[in-house]
Amino acid sequence: MMRQISSALLVASMALLAGCGSRELTTGSIPDDYRTRHPITLSEAEHTLDIPVSSGDYRLSTGMKDMIRGFAQNFAASPAGVIQIQMPHGSPNAGAASHLGGQIRKVLTETGIRPGQIVMGSYQAYPNGDAAPVRLAYVTTKAMTSACGEWPEDLSNATFGNRNWYNFGCASQNNLAAQVANPTDLIAPRGMTPIDAAQRTAVIEAYRKAPSGDGGDD
């Protein structure tokens, strides 16, 4: 009887050891990815520039003109076809804004924007509010991500489970989306430009004429 019990215990012990030997141990695994939680997407968005105007303004300052030129360059680099000049209506500075609208249009055309691409318009402003700005706007594709600063769960839960927390990586994704000059670059690379045969020949000739210490022939 004792031999039977001993044999049974031996078999059971060997089975337990075999099970422990085949068990996979995983430590430090992080199943979630910040690029999945905060993906960069391409969406239609309005790009705007508000130009402050007071009731006594009668001309654009140098700083205002520089802002308008920079905004016009961004418009020219985008696939958008129309840029709007929206002037306030009903505000105390409406007269000054209307006067500056023509100057803004002139700066845009001097930057290279065709007159047919400029649309003049207005928007209702508060008559007793602050000075309403003249707004430049165009609509085109923009790279963007979800809003940051959201904490749907306790931070200790992510730390205890060895996972990065929900807001982790959101700021980096937002910064990357804001720095992309052409949002379509996130979809596919651009085509290669043709080679410059003259420049290639000049570089090869310079390499051949270089002293031996600089990589030329011995």
CATH number at residue 100: 3.30.1330.60
Residue 156 included in any domain: no
Residue 4: which pLDDT band, with cuts at 50, 70 and 90? low
Residue 118 included in any domain: yes
Identify the pLDDT of residue 161.
64
Residue 125 and residue 210: Cα distance in Å, rounded? Answer: 69
Residue 174 and residue 48: Cα distance in Å, rounded? Answer: 18
Residue 71 included in any domain: yes
Residue 29 included in any domain: no
Residue 51: which pLDDT band, with cuts at 50, 70 and 90? very high
Mean pLDDT score, 198-209: 90
The letter for the amino acid at 20 is C
Nearest CA-CA partner of 170 in 143, 142, 149: 149
Residue 209 and residue 218: Cα distance in Å, rounded? Answer: 11
Residue 121 included in any domain: yes
Identify the pLDDT of residue 31.
39
Residue 114 included in any domain: yes
Identify the pLDDT of residue 188.
84
| Predicted confidence (pLDDT) at residue 53 exceeds the cutoff of 50 | yes
For 126, the domain range is 44-141
Q: Is the Cβ–Cβ distance between 134 and 29 less than 8 Å?
A: no
Give how many domains the chain has, as a whole number: 1
Residue 154 included in any domain: no
Identify the pLDDT of residue 125.
87
Q: Is the Cβ–Cβ distance between 63 and 57 less than 8 Å?
A: no
3-class SS of residue 97: helix
Query: Most confidently modeled of 15-19, 81-85, 128-132, 169-173?
Result: 81-85
Residue 101: which pLDDT band, with cuts at 50, 70 and 90? very high
Residue 123 and residue 84: Cα distance in Å, rounded? Answer: 11
**Mean of the per-residue pLDDT values of the chain:** 81
Residue 168: which pLDDT band, with cuts at 50, 70 and 90? confident
Residue 152 included in any domain: no
pTM of the predicted structure, to 2 decimals: 0.60
